[in-house]
Amino acid sequence: MRVTELSAALAARRAADLYRRRQVVDSPQGAEVVVGGRRVVNFCSNDYLGLAGHPEVIAAWRRGAETYGVGSGASHLVCGHLRPHHALEEELAAFTGRDRALLFSTGYQANLGVLGALVARGERVFEDRLNHASLLDGARLAAARLRRYPHGEVATLERWLDEGGATLIATDAVFSMDGDLAPLPALAGLARRHDAWLYVDDAHGFGVLGERGAGTVSHFGLDQARVPILMATLGKALGVFGAFVAGSDELIEWLIQSARTYIYTTALPPALAEAVRAALRLVRAEDWRRRHLQALIARFRQGATELGLRLLPSPTPIQPLIVGDNETALRWSRQLLERGFWVAPIRPPTVPAGSARLRITLSAAHREAQVDGLLTALGELSA
C-alpha cells in the first residue's frame, strides 16, 4: 500500500470506531496503575495472580542480572542457553507432569514454531474458529490445509475428521476474548481415534486453573498421552514474560532441531528466567491467590447478574461484557476511565462484528471493594 492508501485506510478505521490507541502507563503493573497522570483501578491486565510486581520476583530478576548479566548473547543453540534457562525448563516439565519443556521468547513464536515443525505443506489442520491469531497464522505459514470448526462444536469437528482425518487439532484452552474453556476431554478422544496431534495453547489457564495452578489440562485431569503438545505463556498468571512448550522427549528434541522461531532467535535474558522460576515457586506455594481470585470472579458475576448486564459464561478471570456496537464499547470504556476504572474495549477484527465488548479481567491483587466499585460504575452506565 502507498502512503495515500494508508492514510485513507486509517481514516476509515477511525470512522468505524476501530482505531486503536496506546495508553502510556507510568507505574508498575498492579491492581492500580497510573495512566495519564491519574491513578486508576486496572481491570485490563492479564496479571491474574498479581505477581508482576511481587518483591520476590523482582529480587530474583536482580540477582539473576548480577550473576548472569542482562543479555543471553546468542540463540540457545549457539551460546545462549544458560543455566537458568535449563533449570526453568526442567521445573516447568516437572510442574506440568511432562517429559521435557522448551522455552520460547513469546507464545506467538511458540505457536508459529511448533506448527511449522510438525505440519508439512498440504497436511490437514483443524482449529477452533476463536483460536488465538498465532495458532491460525502458524497453520497458514506452514501452508497447511486449515479448516476452522465452529466454536466448541465437537460434533462438527468429528464429522469433518470422519471425512478425511487430520495431522493436528489445535485449540486455545481458555479463549482469550470469551473466557470459556475448550472441551478438551472430547477433543483428546477425537485426536486419539484419528491418530492426530492435539495441540493445546493454555496461555490464559496456566497458573490459574488445575492442581496447584498447573493449568486447564490439569483441570480436566488429562496427561501427556491425552494432550501431547502443551504450550503456555509466562507473562500472564506468572507475571513475567516468555513461553514454553512441554511434551515428550522426542517432541522437544524435534522442536530443538526444527522449530525456526526457536533456532533463529536470541534466547531470553537469563535474569528473566530466574524471575520466572521465582514466580513459579509462588504459584506452587500460594494457593490463596487462586482461591481469592475465584471468590472475586463469583462476586463480580453475581453483581453483574443483579444489574442485568450481559456477561458471557466464563469461569475464568476473563469476564467479557457484550455491548454490541463499537461506539458503545469505546464510550463506556472512556466513561469508566473517567470514574477511575480502566477497562479495555475490544472490537473487530479481534472479535466478530456486532460483538464489541468490554473485556474485564480480574486479578488476585484486586480487593473486594475495587470489584464492587466497578460494579457500581457499570450500573450507572447501564441504567
CB atoms within 10 A of CB 254: 15
Tell whether the model's pLDDT for residue 68 goes beyond 90: yes
Residue 18's pLDDT band, with cuts at 50, 70 and 90, is confident
Rg (Cα) of the chain, in Å, rounded? 21
**Residue 36, number of CB atoms within 10 A of its CB:** 11
Condensed to tens digits (0 to 9), the pLDDT of residues 95-113 reads 999 999 999 999 999 999 9
Rounded distance between C-alpha atoms, residue 289 and residue 131, angstroms: 27
| pTM score over 0.85 | yes
pLDDT at 98: 98
Q: Within its chain, how far is the Cα of 218 from the centroid?
A: 16
- Portion of the chain with pLDDT greater than 90, in percent: 91
- Domains of the chain, CATH where assigned: 22-52+287-382 (3.90.1150.10), 55-285 (3.40.640.10)
In this prediction, residue 1 has a pLDDT band, given cuts at 50, 70 and 90, of confident
Burial classification of residue 280, based on how many CB atoms lie within 10 Å of its CB (0-12 exposed, 13-18 middle, 19 or more buried): buried
Of 100-104, 123-127, 287-291, 351-355, the poorest mean pLDDT is in 351-355
Neighbours of 150 (CB within 10 A): 12
pLDDT above 80 for 149: yes
Q: Which pLDDT band holds residue 175 (cuts at 50, 70, 90)?
A: very high
Residues with catalytic roles: 176, 204, 236
pLDDT tens readout for residues 208-231: 999 999 999 999 999 999 999 999
Q: How far apart are CA 174 and CA 315, in angstroms?
A: 10
Q: Which residues of 317-343 are buried (b: 16+ CB within 10 A; e: fewer)?
A: bbbbbbbeebebbbebbeebbeeebbb
Task: Quickly list H helices, the chain.
Answer: 3-15, 55-68, 83-96, 107-118, 133-141, 154-164, 184-193, 216-219, 249-258, 260-263, 270-285, 288-307, 326-338, 368-382
How confident is the model over 308-321, as pLDDT tens digits?
998 999 999 999 99
Judged against a pLDDT cut of 70, whether residue 383 lies above it is answered with no
Q: What is the pLDDT of residue 263?
A: 98
Look-up: residue for cell 488429562? Answer: 222
Q: How much is the average pLDDT of 23-32?
A: 94
Average pLDDT over the chain reads 96
Q: Which three cell numbers stand for residue 114?
A: 511448533
Q: Is the pLDDT of residue 88 over 80?
A: yes
- Dig out the grid coordinates for 354 from the structure: 456486532
Question: Which residues, in sequence order, are bridge partners of residue 357?
Answer: 322, 346
